[in-house]
């Protein structure tokens, strides 16, 4: 099935325009991995970078020729039209783009008269010649050519005839797509729709759309352009890009397929969206956005409570889409309003068999109510909830250790040095262990000391690291009756889980969350124990 590559173009530029995001820096190996992931969601085109301009991108295209086997996508190299006053075949940037050896090239051209004059500092006529010459050059070398018309919408407001002339120059020279770019991202959907409709009446040739998210409308602007007749849409994974970012490829695909009924990617690829979104976030070293449409961890999460039983009976009344369609799932957040129905739903989600466990479910509901009244919150702490749930079942996991006592301290010395230290005394399988360690804070010191005491018995803890630590003070009244809630995110390099602890003392609250975190690590990988 090749719908995506023929009838409709989904064009991903995570590796080129998306790499403009502040703080993002892919290695060549990262870029190859991202390209493979994008291919798995069935996009038609993957723009890999700007060969010649960026040495890393030149290397990427060189390695891609042997290392990258794409099933659905064609690889695209990006470059600029020839320099003003230079013959196209003498322009080294054009040569590097040809040498990248991709089946498709995407050329960027100026289409706003002010940018031609003020940034490019050439004439309007020469810019048109640059477009025509460069397109013709690559078509002559057997390439498919797409033309990104930079600042098209702003330019169209100033001088629409010139935007049309650029497109005509490109199509006349053999370009396959003229991409209308909202480079500064200031458009709204109704404006995009008007311009696309107008351009379609004046130009024949396939049109594309490239939107930035500066008004928060990049996805909607792209869809408005599709409704107005474009059949080529550019996006980036998770919307990564300069400033407010680009149109999110996952939201584009999700909407085009499930809301607009356009089969723009092969049907079997759709359930890969969530996995690929998170994997690319990992490669980009950006924390996934839990609230991202379609693919975020919370995108289909419901605060359980009053409506839990209704959601259980008729989930379609509370979801805009069956989450499984995009590889996501419906998470039920356990809150103080939790009833038996939400615990059952949550148990199913966590893969805990609760068949015939009516009494245990009742005990869990009671326990959650008591704990949440004290300030515990399980809605963001699935791992602690799972431990609580399993703790009420017949095969409840045994605790890793018994605590005798701990002590942790912070000292600020006269010379300005700050030191933290902790000692834990625990019993593991009947053996009394005393362990002391330093840390960059009292909790880190406790973590180090406890891990040191347990690692011989539970070697899998060696791979475990705290990934995040959040603190919230609840019901503070003059500093005396306050309760502290601590959330700890933990990773073993494969997965990540969240635990919670609550106590008047921040260190004791952290200790609870820490012990849950390590217990859950062992529960996840018992074989290594």
Instruction: Return the residues of window 318-377 that contact its own copies according to CB under 8 A.
Output: 318-321, 332-333, 377
Does 113 participate in binding its own copies (rule CB under 8 A)? no
Contacts of 131 (CB under 8 A, 6+ apart): 81, 107, 109, 147, 166, 169, 170, 173
Q: HEC string of 161-175?
A: HHHHHHHHHHHHCCC
Does 411 participate in binding its own copies (rule CB under 8 A)? yes
In contact, 504 and 484? CB cutoff 8 Å: yes
Binding residues for its own copies, total number by CB under 8 A: 113
- Of the candidate spans 34-42, 61-69, 170-178, 461-469, the one that interacts with its own copies by CB under 8 A turns out to be 461-469
- Of the candidate spans 67-75, 265-273, 355-363, 463-471, the one that interacts with its own copies by CB under 8 A turns out to be 463-471
Distance (Å) of CA 135 to CA 26, 54, 145, 155, 209: 29, 21, 7, 21, 19
Q: Which one, 37 or 256, has the nearer CB to its own copies?
A: 256
Q: Compose the 54-93 pattern: x for residues touching its own copies by CB under 8 A, - for all others.
A: ----------------------------------------
- In the complex, the smallest distance separating the C-beta of residue 3 from its own copies, rounded to whole angstroms, is 21
Does 221 participate in binding its own copies (rule CB under 8 A)? yes
- In the complex, the smallest distance separating the C-beta of residue 306 from its own copies, rounded to whole angstroms, is 9
Q: Residue 433: beta bridge partners?
A: 426
Q: HEC string of 310-374?
A: HHHHCHHHCCCCCHHHHCCCCCEECCCCCCHHHHHHHHHHHCCCCCCCHHHHHHHHHHHHHHHHC
Residues 246-305 that bind its own copies (CB under 8 A): 248, 251, 254-255, 259-260, 285, 290-294, 296, 298-303
Query: Concatenated DSSP letters for 131-194?
Result: HHHHHHHHHHTT-EEEEEEETHHHHHHH-HHHHHHHHHHHHHTT-SEEEEEETT----HHHHHH
Contacts of 513 (CB under 8 A, 6+ apart): 381, 384, 486, 487, 488, 499, 500, 501
Residues 495-524 that bind its own copies (CB under 8 A): 503-508, 511
Pick the binder of its own copies from 220, 270, 281, 283 (CB under 8 A). 220
Does 197 participate in binding its own copies (rule CB under 8 A)? no
- In the complex, the smallest distance separating the C-beta of residue 143 from its own copies, rounded to whole angstroms, is 24
Pick the binder of its own copies from 124, 164, 393, 474 (CB under 8 A). 474
Which residue reads 């959040």 in tokens? 470
Does 452 participate in binding its own copies (rule CB under 8 A)? no
- Of the candidate spans 88-96, 124-132, 223-231, 263-271, the one that interacts with its own copies by CB under 8 A turns out to be 223-231
Residues 378-407 that bind its own copies (CB under 8 A): 379-380, 403-407
Pick the binder of its own copies from 358, 473, 495, 529 (CB under 8 A). 473
Query: In which element (H, E) is residue 151 found?
Result: none
Question: Both tokens of residue 461?
Answer: 């803890």
Residues 126-155 that bind its own copies (CB under 8 A): 151
Does 427 participate in binding its own copies (rule CB under 8 A)? no
Q: Rounded distance, CA 522 to CA 464, Å?
A: 10
Question: Both tokens of residue 55?
Answer: 């040495």
Q: Compose the 19-38 pattern: x for residues touching its own copies by CB under 8 A, - for all others.
A: -xxxx-x-x-x---------
Q: Which one, 163 or 442, has the nearer CB to its own copies?
A: 442
């Amino acid at each position: 099935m090749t719908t995506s590559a023929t009838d409709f173009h989904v064009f991903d530029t995570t590796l080129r325009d998306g790499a403009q995001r502040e703080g993002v820096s892919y290695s060549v190996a990262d870029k190859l991995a991202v390209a493979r992931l994008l291919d798995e969601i069935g996009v038609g085109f993957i723009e890999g970078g700007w060969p010649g301009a960026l040495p890393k991108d030149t290397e990427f295209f060189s390695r891609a020729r042997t290392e990258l086997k794409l099933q659905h996508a064609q690889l695209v190299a990006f470059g600029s039209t020839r320099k003003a006053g230079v013959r196209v075949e003498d322009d080294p940037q054009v040569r590097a783009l040809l040498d990248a050896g991709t089946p498709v090239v995407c050329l960027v051209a100026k289409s706003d008269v002010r940018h031609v004059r003020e940034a490019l500092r050439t004439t309007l006529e020469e810019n048109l010649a640059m477009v025509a010459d460069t397109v013709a050059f690559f078509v002559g070398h057997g390439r498919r050519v797409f033309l990104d018309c930079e600042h098209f919408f702003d330019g169209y407001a100033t001088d629409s005839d010139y935007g049309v002339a650029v497109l005509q120059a490109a199509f006349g020279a053999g370009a396959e797509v003229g991409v209308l770019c909202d480079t500064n991202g200031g458009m709204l959907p109704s404006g995009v729709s008007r311009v696309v409709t107008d351009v379609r009446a004046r130009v024949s040739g396939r049109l594309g759309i490239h939107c930035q998210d500066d008004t928060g409308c990049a996805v909607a602007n792209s869809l408005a352009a599709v409704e107005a007749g474009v059949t080529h849409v550019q996006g980036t994974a998770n919307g990564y890009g300069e400033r407010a970012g680009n149109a999110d490829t996952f939201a584009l695909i999700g909407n085009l397929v499930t809301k607009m009924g356009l089969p723009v990617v092969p049907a079997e690829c759709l359930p890969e969206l969530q996995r690929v979104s998170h994997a690319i976030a990992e490669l980009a070293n950006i924390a996934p956005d839990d609230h991202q449409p379609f693919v975020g961890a919370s995108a289909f999460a419901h605060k359980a409570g009053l409506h839990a039983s209704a959601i259980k009976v008729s989930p379609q009344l509370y979801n805009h889409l069956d989450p499984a369609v995009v590889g996501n799932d419906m998470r039920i957040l356990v809150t103080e309003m939790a009833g038996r129905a939400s615990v059952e739903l949550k148990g199913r989600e966590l893969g805990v068999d609760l068949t015939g466990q009516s009494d245990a479910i009742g005990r869990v509901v009671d326990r959650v109510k008591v704990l949440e009244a004290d300030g515990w919150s399980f809605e963001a702490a699935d791992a602690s909830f799972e431990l609580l749930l399993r703790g009420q079942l017949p095969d409840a996991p045994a605790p890793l250790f018994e605590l005798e006592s701990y002590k942790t301290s912070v000292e600020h010395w006269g010379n300005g040095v700050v030191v933290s230290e902790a000692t834990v005394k625990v019993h593991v399988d009947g053996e009394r262990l005393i362990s002391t360690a330093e840390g960059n804070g009292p909790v880190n010191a406790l973590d180090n000391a406890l891990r040191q005491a347990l690692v011989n018995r539970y070697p899998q803890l060696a791979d475990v690291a705290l990934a995040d630590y959040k603190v919230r003070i609840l019901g503070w009244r003059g500093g005396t009756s306050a309760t502290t809630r601590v959330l700890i995110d933990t990773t073993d390099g494969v997965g990540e889980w969240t635990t919670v602890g609550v106590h008047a003392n921040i260190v004791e609250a952290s200790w609870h969350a820490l012990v849950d975190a390590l217990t859950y690590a062992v529960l996840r990988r018992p074989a290594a124990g």
